[in-house]
Amino acid sequence: MSVAETYEGAVTHQNASTLKSEERRESMTFFGLSLPAVLAILVVVFLPVFWLSSLSFYNAAGELSMENYARIFESALYRRTFVVTFQISIAVTVICVLLGYPLCYWLTKVPDRTAAILMVFVLVPFWTSVLVRTYAWLVLLQRNGIINSSLMSLGIIEEPLQLAHNLTGSIIGMVHIMLPFLVLPLYATMRSVDTDLVRAAVGLGSSPRGAFWRVFFPMSLPGLFAGIVLVFILSLGFFVTPALLGGGKVQMLAQRIESTITVYSNWGAASALGVVLLLLALAMIWLMNRVFGLDKLFMR
Amino acid sequence: MKNNGKFTITAGLAASILAIATPAFAEGDVVFASWGGSFQDALRSAMLEPAASALNVTVKEDTTNGIQDVRAQITAGAVAWDVTEQDLPSCETLSREGSLEPIDYSIVDTTGIPEELIHENYIGFINFTKVIAYRKDAFGDNGPSNWAEFWDLENFPGKRSMHGKVNYNLEAALMADGVPMAEVYDTLATDEGMKRAWSKLGEIAPEVTVWYRGGSQSAQLLRDGEVDVIHMGHNRVESVIASGIEVAYAFDGGTMDVDCLLVPKGAPNVENAMRLINELLSAEAQARLAVTMPLGPVNTGAFDTGIISEEQALLVNTYPDNYGKQLLVDPTFYIGQLGELTEEFDTLIQQ
């Protein structure tokens, strides 16, 4: 072994160890920076969830029991509540996709300036309180509301349509509130799609429609899936809109949790509903992950 | 809802800090808790301030959200309130739990207070009635004014609204089915009667446009013409009428509920509490409240004080001519089975 070789080897070795320690220091710094957030999540999310979950295994008398879960699975009321919650969440998600996808696609086609102005129209309602927007819908949809009175004065309908105080009203209100959650991730993804690829496809002989479906659409999917998951999971836990626009007849899970607390003054019964909702939401995310491959999305 | 809660809390804090009625030389304290808001403002001017000077004590105020507040104070062994107002089922429940001081009837004068509202551990305070109210633009002067007519969609077509809770609705169903008012709770005590009430309620349920959640929503529904006939708080109906809407109602078949006064076990100033209760129930104090808000004095002597005019008296639910037309709610019916009844009710109204 020559002197030079030894020297060179030492340098390499030294560089490697410096790099390694630098790397370690850097990861420690990042860990330190993320620590407050990790602690906050631990304290304000995991501990309460854990505490509430444990409460669900105690009955009103404070004994360990599965009573709270048994009631959920035995009672027709709770079953119906779960069915309604899922029906509404699916309907809201589907309508949001049907409205949101063309909107986002159109936004990518118009000049940037116009798109920015149009995005304001999406965002301003997003910044307004859910309660205010729900009451605004009530003003629009009710029997003597703006929609019914306009339609009647135009002679399109003779009797006012029942638009509020039912399932229709709840879904309309929820779609309006959820739409930005679909539009924002989807629009971001569509903007990042390289339009040259679509042009290349057309240049290579594809029809514009074929180029859209075979090139643009698949590349927009990650954003679409992210939006679908957001809208669906948020819809599962909705409270204000169905409570105000459902006329008391539309009862989703969050409303059932509230009434369980006020009627039974029993945290256990309400916690059990919360736990089931959480598990269902996790199961849905897992399922969507299997179907849509969401992990690819988060790896990006 | 949330905003209302916040408002109540803020108002409550403001009330407990600012609203301390103190006479010039106060001998001792008494702490009183009610529902806050404009209601408690009315109580303050009509009842609490005059009581403070009459008794020569400082009346401190707080606000309550219900039975859980009283329970929490007793469980923690830190009772802060001497007197609080609660609804009838809560009073009865607390009484059964042994959480109340007995009312000292050597201090509290019960003259003029109906027998059925005087209990060992609590006593009636103010009566609230829900009446059938209809818009005249939908029915003219002959709208549905009893329960049979409320149920009668053929002769009285129109959109209906009821309170989205089981309370009062089973009673209404039985009255619609022809059960005399005096027999409602006896009928509900039997399985057969209960079945009859549910099946009658099932007839109207699909025709109810809105099951409202709270008092302010009921007023909005009536005022905006969202519904044509509604079973709702009569003081709120009066406020809708006062805003210029043509609405008619009658006390017949109305469901009357009562708030009570109680003294939590271990209250710091029990004797002052009893003296305050006596003042709050006096004919004059009760009459002063009735002219501020059309809520019912429990003390029938209020109508003889000259404070309430004949015209005003006709609008008050506890005016002797009106009192007997209404069903006084039996709190014991709901105690112990409110959970089950609520679930059955929710199943019925859910789409």
Query: Which pLDDT belongs to residue B335?
Result: 84
Minimal Cβ distance to B213: which of A77, A144, A248: A248
Average pLDDT score, chain A: 87
Average pLDDT score, chain B: 89
B215 CB contacts (<8 Å, ≥6 apart)? B232, B233, B236
Query: Confidence band (pLDDT; 50, 70, 90) for B25?
Result: low
Higher pLDDT, B4 or B36: B36
Instruction: State how far residue B142 is from chain A, nearest Cα, in angstroms.
Output: 23
Measured CA to CA, the distance from residue B268 to residue A162 in angstroms comes to 55
Beta carbons of B351 and A142 less than 8 Å apart: no
Query: Which pLDDT belongs to residue B3?
Result: 39
- Residue A257: is its pLDDT beyond 60? yes
Same domain flag for B316 and B331? no
Beta carbons of B211 and A144 less than 8 Å apart: no
Q: CA separation (Å) from B98 to B59, B103, B237?
A: 26, 13, 38
- Torsion, Cα A158 A162 A163 A165, to 10 degrees, reads 160
Mutate to test the interface with B, among A263, A266, A267, A273 (most CBs of B within 10 A): A263
Q: Span A7-17, mean pLDDT? A: 63
pTM over 0.90: no
Query: Which pLDDT belongs to residue B214?
Result: 81
Measured CA to CA, the distance from residue A172 to residue A185 in angstroms comes to 21
Q: Span B340-348, mean pLDDT? A: 91
Query: Confidence band (pLDDT; 50, 70, 90) for B17?
Result: very low
Beta carbons of A76 and B349 less than 8 Å apart: no
Same domain flag for B61 and B136? no
Q: CA separation (Å) from B318 to A191, A193, B13, B330?
A: 69, 73, 32, 17
Same domain flag for B103 and B17? yes
Q: A144 contacts in B (CB within 8 Å)?
A: 224-226
Which residues of B have a CB under 8 Å from any CB of A? 1-3, 67-68, 159, 164, 209-213, 224-226, 338-339, 342-343, 346-347, 349-351
Please write the tens of the pLDDT for every residue from A68-116: 888 888 888 888 999 999 999 999 999 999 999 999 999 999 998 999 9
Query: Which pLDDT belongs to residue B4?
Result: 41
Query: Confidence band (pLDDT; 50, 70, 90) for A1?
Result: very low
Burial of residue B249, with CB atoms counted within 10 A of its CB: 0-12 exposed, 13-18 middle, 19 or more buried: buried
- Residue A162: is its pLDDT beyond 80? yes
Q: Span B139-147, mean pLDDT? A: 94
Residue in A closest to B223 by C-alpha: A144
Please write the tens of the pLDDT for every residue from A258-299: 888 777 767 788 899 999 999 988 898 888 888 776 665 554
Q: Span B277-298, mean pLDDT? A: 93
The parent domain of residue B218 ranges over 129-256+327-349
Measured CA to CA, the distance from residue B80 to residue B62 in angstroms comes to 9
**Per the structure, how many domains does chain B have?**
2
Query: Which pLDDT belongs to residue B19?
Result: 58
Query: Which pLDDT belongs to residue B18?
Result: 45
Q: B210 contacts in A (CB within 8 Å)?
A: 165, 247-248
Measured CA to CA, the distance from residue B118 to residue B111 in angstroms comes to 11
Please write the tens of the pLDDT for every residue from A174-225: 999 999 999 999 999 999 998 899 889 989 988 989 999 998 998 998 899 8
Same domain flag for B96 and B161? no
Query: Which pLDDT belongs to residue B216?
Result: 83
CATH number at residue B24: 3.40.190.10
Same domain flag for B151 and B246? yes
Query: Which pLDDT belongs to residue A6?
Result: 52
Same domain flag for B15 and B54? yes
R_g of chain A computed on alpha carbons: 27
Q: Span A124-146, mean pLDDT? A: 89
Same domain flag for B34 and B52? yes
Same domain flag for B19 and B40? yes
Beta carbons of B224 and A80 less than 8 Å apart: no
Query: Confidence band (pLDDT; 50, 70, 90) for A8?
Result: low
Query: Which pLDDT belongs to residue B5?
Result: 40
Residue A126, CB-side half-sphere exposure with 13 Å CA sphere: 12
Please write the tens of the pLDDT for every residue from B66-86: 888 898 898 888 999 999 999
Same domain flag for B121 and B21? yes
Measured CA to CA, the distance from residue B27 to residue B55 in angstroms comes to 9
- Residue A26: is its pLDDT beyond 60? yes
Same domain flag for B342 and B288? no
Long-range contacts formed by B146-152: CB under 8 A, 24+ apart? B146/B175, B146/B250, B146/B252, B146/B253, B147/B172, B147/B173, B147/B175, B147/B176, B147/B253, B148/B175, B148/B176, B148/B178, B150/B176, B150/B204, B150/B229, B150/B231, B151/B176, B151/B200, B151/B203, B151/B204
Please write the tens of the pLDDT for every residue from B174-229: 999 999 999 999 999 999 999 999 999 999 999 999 999 888 889 999 999 999 99
Q: Span A19-29, mean pLDDT? A: 87
Same domain flag for B244 and B224? yes
CB atoms within 10 A of CB A235: 26
Strand partners, B160: B208, B229
Same domain flag for B185 and B201? yes
Q: CA separation (Å) from A259 to A127, A191, B66, B262?
A: 29, 44, 15, 26
Query: Which pLDDT belongs to residue B11?
Result: 42
Beta carbons of B225 and A144 less than 8 Å apart: yes
DSSP B235-250: HHHHHHHHTT--EEEE
